[in-house]
Chains A and B, each alone.
Chain A
Amino acid sequence: MKPSPFDYTAPSTVGEAVALLADEEREAKVVAGGQSLIPMLNMRLARPELLVDITRIPELGHLYVDEAGNLRIGAAVRQARAAADTAVQDGWPLLAAAIEHIGHPQIRNRGTVCGSLAHHDPAAELPSAALALDARFVITGPRGTRTVTAENFFVATFSTAVEADELLTEVVFPPLPADHGWAFEELTRRHGDFATVGVAVVLERSAGTGTVRAARVVFSGAAPVPVRLSAAEDALVGSDAGEQALAAAAGAALARLTPSDDIHATAEYRREGAAHLLVRACTTAWERC
Chain B
Amino acid sequence: MSHDSDLHRHGDGSWIGRSVPRVEDDRLLRGNGRYVDDIALPGAVEAAFLRSPHAHARVDSVDVSAALAAPGVVAVWTGDDVADLPAMLNKEELRTPPGLAELLDPVVRMTPMPLLARDKVLYVGQPVAVVFAENRYLAEDALELVDVRYSPLAVLVDPGLSLAPDAPLLHEELPDNTAVAVAARVGDPDAAFTRAHAVVSEQFEAHRYVASPIETRAISAQVEPYSGRVKVWSGTQTPHRLRDAIAHTLGLESAAVHVIAADVGGGFGQKGILYVEELLVPHAARRIGRPVLWREDRNENLTAASHAREQIHRIELAADAEGRLIAVRDRITVNFGAYNMTGLVVPYNSLCHLLGPYRIPNVDIDVVGVLTNTTFATPYRGAGRPETVFAMERAMDRLAAELGIEPEELRARNLVGPDAMPYATGLVDRSGRPQIYDSGDYPELLCRAVAKADVEKVRARQREGARDGKYIGIGFAMYIEATGLGPFETARIDIAPSGRVRLAIGAPSQGQGHRTSMAQIAADAIGVPFDVIDVVGGDTEATPFGVGTIASRALVTAGNAAHRAGRLIREKIVETAARRLGVDADGLHLSDGVVASKEPGGPSMGLSELAGRAPLPGTPEPADGRYGTEISETVHFRPPGFAVSGGAHAAVVEVDEHTGGIEILHYVVVHDAGNIVNPMIAEGQVTGGIAQGIGGALYEEMVYGPDGQPRTGTYMDYLVPTSSEIPDLDMDEIFTPSPMNDLGVKGLGEGGAIAPQAVLAGAVEDALRPFGVVVRRGPLSPSRVRELIRTADRT
Binding site for B on A (CB under 8 A): 1-5, 39, 43-44, 187, 189-194, 196, 263-266, 268-269, 272-273, 276
Contact = CB atoms under 8 A, between A and B. Distances in A.
B305 to A, nearest CB: 14
B482 to A, nearest CB: 34
Contacts of A264: 717, 781, 783
A91 B658 CA distance: 32
Interface stretch (B37-45, B720-728, B752-760): B720-728
A276 B782 contact: no
A272 B658 contact: yes
Interface in B739-795: 781-783, 786-787, 790
A272 B790 CA distance: 11
Interface string B682-724: 0000000000000000010101000000011010110101101
A32 to B, nearest CB: 20
Interface in B423-468: none
Among B144, B659, B660, B783, max chain A CB count under 10 A is at B783
Given A43-B714, A187-B782, A265-B782, A273 B724 contact: no
Given A2-B136, A196-B782, A190 B712 contact: no
Interface of B: 136-137, 140-141, 144, 297-299, 658-661, 699, 701, 703, 711-712, 714, 716-717, 719, 721-722, 724-725, 781-783, 786-787, 790
Contacts of A44: 140, 144
Contacts of A1: 297-299
Given A43-B714, A263-B711, A269-B660, A189 B782 contact: yes
A254 to B, nearest CB: 13
A5 B658 CA distance: 48
A43 B299 contact: yes
Contact of A269 (B140, B299, B701, B783): B783
Contacts of B719: 189-190, 193
B724 A192 contact: yes
A3 B719 CA distance: 24
B782 A268 contact: no
26 contacts: A1-B297, A1-B298, A1-B299, A3-B137, A4-B144, A39-B714, A187-B661, A189-B781, A190-B721, A190-B724, A190-B725, A192-B724, A193-B719, A196-B783, A264-B781, A265-B783, A266-B783, A266-B787, A268-B786, A269-B660, A269-B782, A269-B786, A269-B787, A272-B786, A273-B782, A273-B786
Nearest to A265: B783
Given A190-B699, A268-B790, A276 B658 contact: yes
A3 B299 CA distance: 14
B141 A4 contact: yes
10 nearest CB pairs, A to B = A265-B783, A191-B724, A269-B783, A1-B297, A276-B658, A2-B137, A2-B140, A263-B703, A269-B786, A263-B711
A5 B701 CA distance: 33
A265 B140 contact: no
A187 B785 CA distance: 14
Among A190, A193, A196, max chain B CB count under 10 A is at A190
A199 B787 CA distance: 22
Contacts of B659: 187, 273, 276
Contacts of B658: 272-273, 276
Nearest to B786: A269
Contacts of B712: 263
A182 to B, nearest CB: 21
A190 B699 CA distance: 8
Contacts of B782: 187, 189, 196, 265, 269, 273
Given A5-B137, A264-B781, 20 more contacts: A1-B297, A1-B298, A2-B136, A4-B140, A4-B144, A43-B299, A44-B144, A187-B661, A190-B699, A190-B721, A193-B719, A196-B782, A263-B712, A263-B717, A265-B781, A265-B782, A265-B783, A268-B786, A269-B786, A273-B786
B722 A190 contact: yes
Contacts of A263: 701, 703, 711-712, 717
Nearest to A191: B724
Contacts of B783: 196, 264-266, 269
Contacts of B699: 189-190
A191 B725 contact: yes
A2 B299 CA distance: 11
